[in-house]
Structure 1
Amino acid sequence: MPDPSTYRPAPGSIPVEPGVYRFRDPHGRVIYVGKAKSLRSRLNSYFADVAGLAPRTRQMVTAAGSVEWTVVSTEVEALQLEYNWIKEFDPRFNIRYRDDKSYPVLAVTLNEEYPRLMVYRGARRKGVRYFGPYSHAWAIRETLDLLTRVFPARTCSAGVFKRHRQIERPCLLGYIDKCSAPCVGRVSAEEHRRIVLDFCDFLAGKTDRLIRDLERQMNAAAEQLDFERAARLRDDVGALKRALEKQTVVFGDGTDADVVAFADDELEAAVQVFHVRGGRVRGQRGWIVEKSSEPGDDSQEQLVEQFLTQFYGDQAALGGAADESTNPVPRQVLVPCLPGNSDELATWLSGLRGSRVSLRVPQRGDKRALAETVRRNAQDALAQHKLKRAGDFTARTAALQNIQDSLGLAEAPLRIECVDISHVQGTDVVASLVVFEDGLPRKSDYRHYAIREAAGDGRSDDVASIAEVTRRRFYRHLHDTAHPTEVAPEGKSRKFAYPPNLYVVDGGAPQVNAAQAVLDDLGITDVAVIGLAKRLEEVWVPAEPDPLIMPRNSEGLYLLQRIRDEAHRFAIAYHRSKRSKRMTASALDSVRGLGEHRRKALVTHFGSVARLKQASVEEITAVPGIGVATARAVLEALGVPSQSDAPEAVIGNDQDKVSG
């Protein structure tokens, strides 16, 4: 473990100007990024008294091997540079407010001819309008089920829409009047878009006008004695009012704001955000994060600054909002306290929004009451997290300790990597490598490997494939260690700049010995290698004639099985996709005049070779660039009888011969 004094900068060499600094570990990987008004004052605080630092800060400085900095002109520049570096290097000691697909939104695809309403997660796209976020996907579906009675817009996927357009028959939603069925021409594209825009206006807060319009139509229908239509409109008004009741009015003045609150202890903090649009609570989010690694900066002011920088920086990076109403940065951000650089933060947020953003602490009235509600939610979230974490952390710690004791390791295997091979009789050989840190999967570090075809029986192929993957993975490690300052391609962080504590292969003694031989050739001695065989779940150790049998109910064996099964799942998924692509390409390779782009267009259009086989010549020629002759050649290559071989054609020819 490095001693901070070994890499401490020389006295007087650190500038006093504002800037951003990076701590790197001995392998060159960035582990922490921070900013400071005075670089000298901030960095000296890391080395003054290591024993007096907070536990997380002390862990960071003892894990680091060097520190570097960049001087900037203003603190706003420092905010932007800090955010960019955190996003680029993903340092493990920095707080990251990640949206890990936990918060779905309601998306309206205004960029399509027939816009669709759907549940969506992911980056924002141009021409799509978003509402939310919602706590659960079922909340969006419940909203859609209630409002499509009044706004019967399309909710089906592109494939379903196209299929019903071809068969000229609407789906069930069309029959029960929860979709206007534009697929069969029941409404025109303009009429359907008008329905969708009314739906967007309602969710955007323009509710009074829509309800008044429906009530006016209801009264007019009643005066014309069209009581059936009046009754339907009455039910529509009731449905809209029920939808409004689900969105509590918190601000009578129609304020657009995000209300942020924190609850923290010595090590962790819970963050809760209520998104208020048009005076109504439109969504809620929450995170649990570890406290900062900056000395003396574990106060709530620092939490506020880190949250505003990370959260709104990531939200603005999503981009692609259709209009201002979906701008991820609101006009007001209500926080429990103002950090010392609140003016610079407000300036930076205003730049992200494109207009002025107000950063305030609510003092009285409705805003103060809502802030108190958000704070109570944060406290409850932290309490529940600590109860759950106590059980999870205890189980993971027991599992890692059990593996350490069973294998006789010098320390607990905090990083475990596992390799699995997948193929069918030696074809399409692929490998997967999965990574677990602290007993949890780190999916951003997962890797696929395409293995060169090898002759021989399946057993020898697996051994050779294990050796190849091991060599490629640890050659990468040695290269990164020898070139610590080399930048990864396309600005990506270097995920494998440090080795695992335990390397697991799926197999028995031959696979384990092959992996160990590769490590010996590369001169790597600090990585333990084991194999986990599926038949009896034996643990094989290199150069040992007999396997190690761990108790069937041990936490360590459960964890190893979970890691092995995850590697197997990841390898199977990659193998299936690769085999499917090969089979599709080989089936169409023999078609003369059908190039790569048109083959891809065919598969994309029909979705699979099975559907392509069921298509007619006319349906295939609907794909751009495919003519009649090519369509017939495609069907012939797939083993489908041509139309000239149909019974009707034979009967017709016989009749012509008889009549002649």
Structure 2
Amino acid sequence: MADPASYRPQTGEIPTDPGVYRFRDEHGRVIYVGKAKSLRSRLNSYFANPLTLLPKTYAMVHSAASVQWTTVGSELEALQLEWTWINEFNPRYNLVFRDDKSYPYLAVTLGEKFPRVQVMRGERRKGVRYFGPYTAGAIRETVDTLLRVFPVRTCSPGVLKRAQRSGRPCLLGYIDKCSAPCVGKVTPEEHRALADEFCSFMGGEAKPLIAKLERQMTAAVKELDYEQAARLRDDVIALRKVFERNAVVLAEDTDADIFAVSQDELEAAVQVFHVRAGRIRGQRGWVVEKVEDSTPAELIEHLLQQVYGDDGTERQGIPRQILVPEQPSNSDQLAVWLGGLRGGKVDIRVPQRGDKAALLDTVRQNAEQSMKLHKSRRAGDLTTRSLALQELQEALDLPVPLLRIECYDISHVQGTNVVASMVVVEDGIAKKSEYRKFAITGDAAVDDTASMYDVISRRFRRYLQDGASSGSAAGSGTGTGEGTDLAGVPIPANRLVSGEVTDQPAVKPKFAYPPNLVVVDGGQPQVAAAARALSDLGITDVFVVGLAKRLEEVWLPDSDFPVILPRTSQGLYLLQRIRDEAHRFAITFHRQKRGKSMTVSVLDSVPGLGAAKRGLLLEAYGSVRKIKAASTSELAQVKGIGPVLAAAIHSALHPAVDSVDDAPAAVNMATGEVLQS
């Protein structure tokens, strides 16, 4: 592996102009191509502290042996040159958003004597009208349905010539899926009229054609030609089926591709919906590995560049509008470049409201679901889970297998409503019955490190208490003394079951079962706090690591440098999933707690006014404002509210000195008797 310092150019040698750069390996092969507004600024970022680089970028700069650059006159030229070189050299470290297929289109060869309907990919040809793009299954189902109404030729030139020579039509001609122009069942003009109607329907003129068939059906009924009417009825049903399948979602003149991306630090899931004539014609998606720490704007730029610039096979699919979740970097230059490929103006925009924004949100949800499905399939595989646990054990140099892992995360908003979560993974599978939530107050809520120390101390103090009460250092058996809940409140042992309060007899407390590995969400400070908490409790057989979110670094206690796991490591994926689950669980609890704190009523502070009596008050008056407007005597008329409690409620709602007219009557606090002044 090469040392980047051995080929790093002097800063003064690198121009500040826009340009394109290439990293080459020791054999001279181009392994990465990039562009920059300022070559000096961008290239210097690759030779920064290796600890600040993403694992992929780290691998790239250490695989390279040299770097070259070419200056250009503008960012648009840089964009074009970058794409030319990516296609030419196919660098291994460039982000790839393409799959191995181009879009399928429904095509009608109007340039032939007998027009043919077929599925086509690749470059456009003259004399052919295209519709789509579609997914492969949907396009064939659409054609099969429409051939009943518009029996246009679909056979290959060889089959057509063989039928003309023999004078017998192919099978489609016998089952009325083809009008058989090859044997003269219809004239070339009649067959072309069928092809034109087919194109009209696919071009968005479905309603007039359906209305025309309905009129013909009505006329056939009036003439008592019920067989013809039945055939027309079936044709109308078939057309409506296709029309409903391609339901209008936007204006009928809308041609747009709608992109959305769901990404984490290592991967990105892409979804694109193709809308033609206001209908969703097709949808595609990928999950790809990210190569460098790209911003969302840069990611969108690379995505559009590759989808539409793939050696010309996608250029026929460039629509008038491209809707994206975030404006790509170099948006103006990208629009000019795509407009040149399309042969017309291309508008790249971020929809803010209306139907297009709603459809973009749908595409985003599909991207998120695709990412979740990708991760869950990887997590659900037994071999993958075993490999992940083994890789993690070896990378962290742990002497014991990772049978149980616990992950902790702190959540708050500017230091308020501080909470923490604990999630549990056993044998690589989440064990949700063992999840725990922590409320953090007082000095422990000062900062994340104090909160982490408090949470780890409370969890493992509970482990030691349960173990001591059961007479076993390992915490096995049934506790006989008192435990504490997660807030430190004592709970009798006969009400402890898996950390929950119950009236059933005590059983073995699962919460006391210790993990092999504790994972904390954070870097060196959080890891140090967790390790200090375990050390203060005298626990030495539980290992601690931290996962720093920005660069996905794994930190160990008392280590100045993080452990960098390979970007394709199943162990890193496992840590990510555990950390993300802990974060989700903490955020959910934090939102619940914050929601309750925002709905606290002034009535909650009235001594003696419980939830039931508060409900009676609100039922009687409807709101706190009306309760405040009531006098003490009126409040005392409410069921369950006596004179003493009414006076306390009135006092709580009127902390200032009341006027003489509204002053409440004096009350003997010993007897509850209302005293007259």
TM-score normalised according to structure 1 size: 0.56
Indicate the SS of the match to 2:149: coil
1:313 and 2:272 matched: no
C-alpha distance after superposition, 1:373-432 (max 9, x if no partner) = 10111111112223344578966997xx99xxxxxxxxxxxxxxxxxxxxxxxxxxxxxx
Indicate the SS of the match to 1:254: coil
Using the TM superposition, give the Cα deviation of residue 286 of structure 1 relative to its aligned residue in structure 2, in angstroms.
0.9
Corresponding residue to 2:336 among 344, 347, 352: 347
The amino acid that maps onto 1:242 is K
Using the TM superposition, give the Cα deviation of residue 363 of structure 1 relative to its aligned residue in structure 2, in angstroms.
1.1
Q: 2:297 corresponds to which residue?
A: 301
Q: What pairs with 1:274-293 in structure 2 (closer than 5 Å)?
A: 274-293=273-292
Indicate the SS of the match to 1:281: strand
How far apart, in 1, do the equivalents of 2:138 and 2:104 lie?
A: 9
Using the TM superposition, give the Cα deviation of residue 94 of structure 1 relative to its aligned residue in structure 2, in angstroms.
0.9
For these two proteins, the number of residue pairs brought into alignment is: 390
How far apart, in 2, do the equivalents of 1:277 and 1:104 lie?
A: 14
Q: 2:146 corresponds to which residue?
A: 147
How far apart, in 1, do the equivalents of 2:144 and 2:218 lie?
A: 26
How far apart, in 1, do the equivalents of 2:326 and 2:383 lie?
A: 35
Q: 1:621 corresponds to which residue?
A: none
1:209 and 2:208 matched: yes
Indicate the SS of the match to 2:317: coil
Corresponding residue to 2:350 among 343, 353, 361: 361
C-alpha distance after superposition, 1:540-596 (max 9, x if no partner) = xxxxxxxxxxxxxxxxxxxxxxxxxxxxxxxxxxxxxxxxxxxxxxxxxxxxxxxxx
The amino acid that maps onto 1:385 is H
Q: 1:259 corresponds to which residue?
A: 258
Q: What pairs with 1:37-48 in structure 2 (closer than 5 Å)?
A: 37-48=37-48
Indicate the SS of the match to 1:263: strand
User: What percent of counterpart residues are identical?
Assistant: 63
The amino acid that maps onto 1:35 is K
Using the TM superposition, give the Cα deviation of residue 331 of structure 1 relative to its aligned residue in structure 2, in angstroms.
1.2
Q: 2:88 corresponds to which residue?
A: 88
How far apart, in 2, do the equivalents of 1:150 and 1:34 lie?
A: 52
Q: Which moved more, 1:149-158 or 1:184-193?
A: 184-193
How far apart, in 2, do the equivalents of 1:211 and 1:162 lie?
A: 34
Indicate the SS of the match to 1:273: strand
Q: Any unmatched runs of 5+ in structure 2? A: 392-677
Using the TM superposition, give the Cα deviation of residue 367 of structure 1 relative to its aligned residue in structure 2, in angstroms.
1.0
Q: Any unmatched runs of 5+ in structure 1? A: 320-326, 403-660
Contact in 2 for aligned 1:103/1:285 (Cα 8 Å): no
How far apart, in 2, do the equivalents of 1:210 and 1:223 lie?
A: 20
The amino acid that maps onto 1:51 is L
C-alpha distance after superposition, 1:261-292 (max 9, x if no partner) = 00011111011000111111011111112214
Q: 2:62 corresponds to which residue?
A: 62
Indicate the SS of the match to 2:361: helix
The amino acid that maps onto 1:364 is R
1:25 and 2:14 matched: no
Indicate the SS of the match to 1:173: helix
> Whose radius of gyration is greater, 1 or 2?
2
Q: What pairs with 1:179-190 in structure 2 (closer than 5 Å)?
A: 179-190=178-189
Indicate the SS of the match to 1:48: coil
Contact in 2 for aligned 1:101/1:122 (Cα 8 Å): no
1:330 and 2:326 matched: no
Contact in 2 for aligned 1:21/1:34 (Cα 8 Å): yes
How far apart, in 2, do the equivalents of 1:396 and 1:114 lie?
A: 58
C-alpha distance after superposition, 1:580-613 (max 9, x if no partner) = xxxxxxxxxxxxxxxxxxxxxxxxxxxxxxxxxx
Using the TM superposition, give the Cα deviation of residue 56 of structure 1 relative to its aligned residue in structure 2, in angstroms.
0.8
Over 3 Å counting, the alpha-carbon distance change for 1:363 and 1:17 in structure 2 is same
Indicate the SS of the match to 1:2: coil
Q: 1:474 corresponds to which residue?
A: none
Indicate the SS of the match to 2:253: coil
Using the TM superposition, give the Cα deviation of residue 253 of structure 1 relative to its aligned residue in structure 2, in angstroms.
5.0
Over 3 Å counting, the alpha-carbon distance change for 1:253 and 1:141 in structure 2 is closer
Q: 1:546 corresponds to which residue?
A: none
C-alpha distance after superposition, 1:231-280 (max 9, x if no partner) = 32222122111111111221135311111100011111011000111111
How far apart, in 1, do the equivalents of 2:137 and 2:215 lie?
A: 33
How far apart, in 2, do the equivalents of 1:129 and 1:387 lie?
A: 42
Indicate the SS of the match to 1:12: helix
Q: 1:242 corresponds to which residue?
A: 241
How far apart, in 2, do the equivalents of 1:178 and 1:317 lie?
A: 31
Q: 2:74 corresponds to which residue?
A: 74
Contact in 2 for aligned 1:316/1:329 (Cα 8 Å): no
How far apart, in 2, do the equivalents of 1:244 and 1:343 lie?
A: 37
Over 3 Å counting, the alpha-carbon distance change for 1:197 and 1:253 in structure 2 is closer
Using the TM superposition, give the Cα deviation of residue 163 of structure 1 relative to its aligned residue in structure 2, in angstroms.
2.2
